[in-house]
Amino acid sequence: DIQMTQSPSSLSASVGDRVTITCRASQGINSYLAWFQQKPGKAPKSLIYAASSLQSGVPSKFSGSGSGTDFTLTISNLQPEDFATYYCQQYKTYPLTFGGGTKVEIK
**Sites of contact with other proteins (CB under 8 A):** 1, 32, 34, 36, 38, 42-46, 49-50, 55-56, 87, 89, 91, 94-101
Nearer of residues 68 and 101 to other proteins, judged by Cβ: 101
- Whose CA is closest to 102, among 15, 2, 26, 19? 19
Nearer of residues 7 and 77 to other proteins, judged by Cβ: 7
Torsion angle in degrees (nearest 10) through CA of 53, 59, 62, 63: 30
Nearer of residues 10 and 77 to other proteins, judged by Cβ: 10
